[in-house]
Amino acid sequence: MLGKNRSKKERRGLSNIVGSLLMIVLTIVAALLLGHFAFGLFSSNSHSAQISLSDISVLNPGGTATTASVTVTVTDTGNDPVNITLVTVAGQTLYQFNPTTKNYITLQPGQSYTFISPGSITNPININPTLNVGSTIVVQVTATDTVTHQTLATQATTVVQD
């Protein structure tokens, strides 16, 4: 009975409010979808190459020598593949790309590679200066982005252990 007592003007007013709210909601949804598409499209086409170092260990049994067993893990944390070109420990080469044989170590995004000094503790890498247990050394890795050909370099420090 109450519905019959309403005038057409009152019903039309309610319809205009609902229509306005519906248009606002549709506009917001369209803007969100457009923004998601635009930002998703641009971010997937951006190139960022990045490498990180982890699990670094330098073991020098005996405490004072120029030889050590070295382990370094390199991870491609960007979204482009990278070619590892050089790994140095305390300024000495652990791995170097050979341009003649093109022996790149290529890492895909998210992939890791562990460099281990030639041999083991019984056949360690020769490093000059002397690696005293407790001393801090620098490990540096250089790589090249395979898409943009940008050169990347990162370094970390570690303490020599016995």
Query: Residue 137: its pLDDT value, please?
Result: 87
Within this chain, do residues 145 and 85 fall inside the same structural domain, yes or no?
yes
- The structural domain count of the chain equals 2
pTM: 0.65
pLDDT digits (tens, 9 = 90+) for 42-84: 555 677 889 999 998 888 777 665 667 889 999 999 999 999 9
**CA distances (Å), 8 to each of 12, 43, 79, 137, in order?**
6, 52, 62, 85
Average confidence score pLDDT of the chain:
81
Tokens 């803007």 appear where?
Answer: 31
pLDDT tens column, 102-161:
778 999 999 999 988 864 444 455 555 567 788 888 999 999 999 989 999 999 999 988
Q: Residue 108's domain spans which residues?
A: 51-159
Q: Are residues 77 and 137 in the same domain?
A: yes
Please tell me the distance from the alpha carbon of residue 151 to that of residue 62, in angstroms, as a whole number. 38
pLDDT of residue 45: 60
Query: Do 77 and 139 lie in a common domain?
Result: yes
